Amino acid sequence: GGKDAINTTIINFNNEKMQITWATREIFPNDNVSFFYIFGEGKNTVWKPCTTYLMDQDYNSGCLFKTEGPTLAISIRNSNGSKELFFKKLKADFYIKPSPPENVTFFWEEDTATVSCNKPKKNAWCLRLELQYKSKFDKEWQSRTSKCCSVREQGFDPSKCYFFRVRLRRLVPYCNVVKYSSDWEAETFWMNGTLLDSCDDDITPQTPQSKTVIVLSCSLAVLLMMLILLILLCKWQRVQMSVLPPIPDPKYPFADLLNDHNGNLQEWLDKNGHVVLQTKLEYEEPESIIEAESHQEDGNSDKQEPLEKISIFSGAAENNDGKAAEISCLLPASNTMAPFAGFHILVNDDMYVML
């Protein structure tokens, strides 16, 4: 009981600023209290009112002021300061909360990391440097503490990415009555001695053997793709030829017509008549051949029936001036006998002879 029973929280930020808070709504539910403080001891000391209050639902719940010495006395009073509700004397140095470590550096040697920071100017022996780390596969932080201001840890897996963070801790009970530590320095990300932006984008380091395997795999993949493309190309050409056969160019069979005779069809026919006739005979319809054979068999069985034949006579008469022979068509009389080379050929009205 008494005035010392009020629960307060006292923090001395790196021996620069003091922050003292109390549970306003629990201790003083209906009063808006005031705060006074004084550093040092003596009759000439004067209480200083708080100029920077911390608020909780429009009620004063704490005070923030400058640290001016190792000893401190505080007083919580009613709203007008006429009645003291709480009084306490304390050592300000026993409530120090250190600042985060400055200029943190990492030194890597194989699987061992050495973390260092700047050494504070005062009371460095009261501080401990704490290192925490974990990989992205770990749920809990691993911790390592050493004297200010260097800590060494080994056994890191070069294939894993690690989160690192450091802070300073104040020794208890030799230097502090409360276990105060600094805020954590910004996290850093390391893998195999290399600083990364994040462990989300980490890439497993490649050994020379793995690089060789990757190169060979890529080369084989490229060759296999080229082979598959060649096979598909050959298959496509076959399919294309079967579905869309090539159309022959007519200029090759009639090359002599265009080149030798300048497109003169009559001259070309006169010179190549036997070729045309042979081609015509080769493509003669089978029905015509069968009909001719049947006529021949009937002639052998009955020789009394007259046979109608077509005789084609060709001839040329050359004159003294070397002119070409003329071709004329003669229409013989009905049922006339046409002599030729000792043979007599019966010619009717439907026949004509080429001379």
For the segment 114-152, what is each residue's pLDDT rounded down to a tens digit?
999 999 888 899 999 999 999 988 889 999 999 999 999
Mean pLDDT for 69-84 is 90
What is the value of pTM for the model shown?
0.54
Closest CA relative to residue 61, chosen from 101, 143, 6: 6
- The secondary structure of 40-52 as a DSSP string is S-STT---EE-SS
CA-based angle 222:226:231, to the nearest 5?
Answer: 150
Mean pLDDT for the chain overall: 76
Residue environment code for 173-188, b if the CB has 16+ CB neighbours within 10 A, otherwise e: eeebeeebbbeebeeb
Token reading at 23 = 């549970």
Token reading at 14 = 């790196």
Per-residue pLDDT tens for 169-214?
999 998 999 999 999 999 999 999 999 998 886 444 445 666 788 8
**For position 290, what pLDDT does the model report?**
47
Distance of CA 13 to the CA centre of its chain: 50
Q: What single-letter amino acid sits at 204?
A: T
Please classify residue 99 by burial: count the beta carbons closer than 10 Å to its beta carbon, then call 0-12 exposed, 13-18 middle and 19+ buried.
middle
Closest CA relative to residue 17, chosen from 121, 119, 97: 97
**DSSP 8-state code for residue 328:** -
pLDDT of 323 > 90? The answer is no
For residue 280, report the phi and psi dihedrals to the nearest 5 degrees: -65, -40
Our separate counts of H helices and E strands in the chain read 6, 21
pLDDT of 265 > 80? The answer is no
The number of C-alpha atoms within 13 Å of 34 and in the hemisphere containing its C-beta is: 14
Residue environment code for 32-67, b if the CB has 16+ CB neighbours within 10 A, otherwise e: ebbbbbbbeeeeeeeeeebeebbeeeebbbbbbbeb
User: Do residues 353 and 312 make contact, with C-beta atoms less than 8 angstroms apart?
Assistant: yes
User: Do residues 33 and 85 make contact, with C-beta atoms less than 8 angstroms apart?
Assistant: yes
Please classify residue 90 by burial: count the beta carbons closer than 10 Å to its beta carbon, then call 0-12 exposed, 13-18 middle and 19+ buried.
middle
pLDDT of 345 > 70? The answer is no
Please classify residue 12 by burial: count the beta carbons closer than 10 Å to its beta carbon, then call 0-12 exposed, 13-18 middle and 19+ buried.
buried
Tell me which of 19-33, 74-88, 270-284 is least confident. Answer: 270-284
Q: Which long-range contacts (CB under 8 A, 24 or more apart) does 182-188 make?
A: 182/97, 182/98, 182/99, 182/100, 182/101, 183/100, 184/100, 185/100, 185/101, 185/104, 187/163, 188/104, 188/106, 188/163, 188/164
Mean pLDDT for 251-273 is 69
Token reading at 40 = 């040092």
Q: How far apart are CA 63 and CA 68, in angstroms?
A: 15
Q: Which structural domains are found in the chain, ordered by start?
A: 8-97 (2.60.40.10), 105-196 (2.60.40.10)
Q: What single-letter amino acid sits at 24?
A: T
